[in-house]
């Protein structure tokens, strides 16, 4: 450790400082109790109807279908897009694996598109290169990392030119805007999540968003075991038990009015970190301030190369050597945990995951596997002497900071001080 609690005058937090935990307000319980009292405890009811209406109203889409999880929504989107066994599908590389797994559910083959430094999202130059390598691809899954919109206009222009359908994974970016338009509107099929750590929550749950009524109707059918309109249980195609519970919908219904409040709180956390770290060799997770407004779901930091101490990560463990004036994600995360605060590594890119290690990976230079191998060997540097495997580089140097909107300003100042002392 760079320092120990007894030598700093900083005491561990009396309560756990979480990365991002649910924030309840009161109306959630009222709507859940309403479901209980009226006995609408299954996958139909007023709460579901109202949550779907609220989502359409807030996001500006035509139709919303409440489902059991954001992953279920992504799976339904992949089915709607017509992905079949053996089809290649371009996917964001630096993301949680729920973005990608639904492609595999349908037998598709994810091909990962590298990240760009400006927003930490899919690189349009790498996507263009990918279409040159795989011209037959017709589906692209784009995620907005940590609540920050990607370069949507550029990505959409490339997909439109190549006749590819966009599935937008807006699970982390509910409430974020790009050029005044909410994320969740930019693909043919779009998905949001109400998982317990998201900007608003139902403890679980998600939604499929679209302007296509026929597509929405298909998902309503598929998600209720594909029951046909018959006086008995009639099934003519494969179905799923994916519909949102009316009880879970009650929690989401109670959360929706507080979305903007949560975003304001998350933004304040981001700005305090940015100000607090201004004298350190770090930068915050970036966004395009001219064109986008994130929801600031998680505040993340990236250590500049000159500020990194030596760190080596294996498949499940990491080691580092502490150096004066430098630190690394492993040291900072371990130190935060010592003080009872939760941080996390940046999402490990999909092309580095053992389950997908044999899949295609494309950088702006083309063959991403060759670029990655060269980077590991100490080469493959691009502009500004930065690695061409951008996702791997961000993963190695970045971390997610405690971003819970119940963390007080005083508690956050203590987190900032803990991080600063790691660089002493």
Q: Distance between CA atoms of 285 and 282, rounded to whole angstroms? A: 10
pLDDT of residue 371: 54
Least Cα distance to 145 among 114, 122, 111 occurs for 122
Torsion sign, CA atoms 118, 120, 124, 129: positive
pLDDT of residue 41: 97
Return the H-helix or E-strand segment holding 371. helix 368-376
> Parallel, antiparallel, or unpaired for β 206-210 and 282-284?
unpaired
| DSSP string for 239-270 | --B-BPPHHHHHHHHHHGGGHHHHHHHHHHHH
Phi/psi for 96 (5° steps) reads -75, 150
Strand segments, DSSP code E, in 330-373 are 344-345, 361-363, 366-367
Residues near 29 by beta carbon (within 8 Å), at least 6 away in sequence? 254
pLDDT of residue 370: 53
pLDDT of residue 139: 98
Instruction: Report pTM.
Output: 0.94
Half-sphere exposure (Cβ direction) of 66: Cα atoms closer than 13 Å:
29
Topology of domain 27-257, CATH: 3.40.640
Least Cα distance to 371 among 391, 346, 356, 354 occurs for 391
pLDDT of residue 380: 56
Torsion sign, CA atoms 206, 172, 80, 212: positive
The single-letter DSSP state of residue 132 is: H
Q: Does domain 5-22+259-422 bear CATH number 3.90.1150.10?
A: yes
- pLDDT tens digits, one per residue of 306-358: 999 999 999 999 999 999 999 999 999 999 999 999 999 999 999 999 999 99
94-121: b (≥16 Cβ within 10 Å) or e: bbbbbbbbbbbebebbbbbbbbbeebbb
Question: Residue 27, exposed/middle/buried by CB under 10 A (0-12, 13-18, 19+)?
Answer: middle
pLDDT of residue 39: 98
Tokens of 379: 């080469």
- pLDDT tens digits, one per residue of 378-419: 455 555 566 789 999 999 999 999 999 999 999 999 999 999
Strand segments, DSSP code E, in 11-73 are 63-67
Tokens of 310: 């030596």
pLDDT of residue 368: 60
The single-letter DSSP state of residue 401 is: P
Q: Distance between CA atoms of 89 and 77, rounded to whole angstroms? A: 13
If one counts every other C-beta atom within 10 angstroms of the C-beta of residue 227, the result is 13
Q: Distance between CA atoms of 89 and 357, rounded to whole angstroms? A: 15
pLDDT of residue 365: 84
Least Cα distance to 392 among 415, 376, 404 occurs for 376
Tokens 């900032």, located at residue: 416
If one counts every other C-beta atom within 10 angstroms of the C-beta of residue 241, the result is 10
The single-letter DSSP state of residue 41 is: -
Least Cα distance to 187 among 171, 170, 207 occurs for 170
Q: Where in the chain is the domain with CATH 3.40.640.10?
A: 27-257
Along the 424 residues of the chain, how does pLDDT read in single tens digits?
A: 344 455 556 889 999 999 999 999 999 999 999 999 999 999 999 999 999 999 999 999 999 999 999 999 999 999 999 999 999 999 999 999 999 999 999 999 999 999 999 999 999 999 999 999 999 999 999 999 999 999 999 999 999 999 999 999 999 999 999 999 999 999 999 999 999 999 999 999 999 999 999 999 999 999 999 999 999 999 999 999 999 999 999 999 999 999 999 999 999 999 999 999 999 999 999 999 999 999 999 999 999 999 999 999 999 999 999 999 999 999 999 999 999 999 999 999 999 999 999 999 999 987 665 555 555 544 555 555 667 899 999 999 999 999 999 999 999 999 999 999 999 9
Return the H-helix or E-strand segment holding 206. strand 206-210
pLDDT of residue 10: 83
If one counts every other C-beta atom within 10 angstroms of the C-beta of residue 4, the result is 9
pLDDT of residue 388: 82
Q: Distance between CA atoms of 220 and 58, rounded to whole angstroms? A: 21
If one counts every other C-beta atom within 10 angstroms of the C-beta of residue 339, the result is 17
Q: Where in the chain is the domain with CATH 3.90.1150.10?
A: 5-22+259-422
């Amino acid at each position: 450790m760079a320092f120990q609690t007894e030598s700093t005058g900083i005491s561990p937090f009396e309560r756990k400082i979480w990365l991002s935990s649910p924030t309840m307000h009161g109306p959630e319980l009222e709507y859940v109790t309403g479901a209980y009292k009226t006995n609408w405890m299954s996958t139909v009811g007023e709460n579901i109807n109202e949550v779907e209406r609220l989502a359409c109203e807030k996001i500006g889409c035509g139709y919303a279908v409440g489902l059991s999880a954001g992953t279920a929504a992504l799976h339904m989107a992949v089915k709607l897009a017509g992905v079949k066994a053996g089809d290649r599908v371009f996917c964001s590389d630096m993301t949680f694996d729920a973005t990608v797994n639904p492609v595999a559910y349908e037998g598709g083959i994810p091909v990962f598109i590298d990240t760009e430094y400006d927003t930490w999202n899919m690189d349009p130059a790498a996507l263009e290169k990918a279409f040159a390598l795989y011209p037959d691809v017709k589906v692209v899954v784009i995620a907005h990392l940590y609540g920050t919109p990607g370069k949507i206009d550029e990505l959409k222009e490339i997909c439109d030119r190549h006749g590819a359908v966009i599935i937008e994974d807006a699970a982390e970016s509910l409430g974020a805007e790009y050029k005044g338009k909410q994320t969740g509107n930019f693909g043919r099929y779009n998905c949001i999540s109400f998982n317990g750590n998201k900007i608003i929550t139902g403890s679980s749950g998600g939604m499929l968003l679209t302007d296509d009524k026929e597509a929405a109707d298909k998902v309503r059918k598929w998600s209720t075991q594909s029951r046909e309109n018959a006086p008995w249980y009639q099934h003519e195609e494969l179905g799923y038990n994916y519909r949102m519970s009316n009880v879970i919908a009650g929690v989401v219904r109670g959360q929706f009015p507080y979305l903007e409040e949560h975003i304001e709180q998350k933004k304040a956390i981001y700005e305090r970190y940015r100000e607090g770290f201004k004298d350190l060799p770090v930068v915050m997770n970036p966004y395009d301030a001219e064109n986008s407004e994130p929801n600031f779901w998680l505040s993340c930091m990236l250590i500049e190369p000159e500020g990194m101490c030596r760190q080596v990560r294996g498949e499940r463990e990491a080691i580092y050597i502490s150096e004066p004036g430098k630190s690394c994600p492993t040291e900072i995360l371990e130190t935060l945990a010592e003080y009872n605060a939760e941080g996390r590594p940046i999402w490990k890119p999909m092309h580095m995951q053992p389950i997908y290690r044999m899949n295609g990976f494309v950088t702006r230079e083309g063959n991403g596997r060759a670029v990655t191998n060269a980077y590991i060997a100490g080469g493959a540097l691009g502009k500004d002497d930065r690695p061409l495997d951008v996702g791997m580089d961000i993963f190695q140097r970045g971390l997610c900071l405690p971003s819970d909107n119940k963390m007080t300003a005083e508690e956050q100042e203590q987190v900032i001080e803990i991080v600063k002392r790691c660089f002493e």
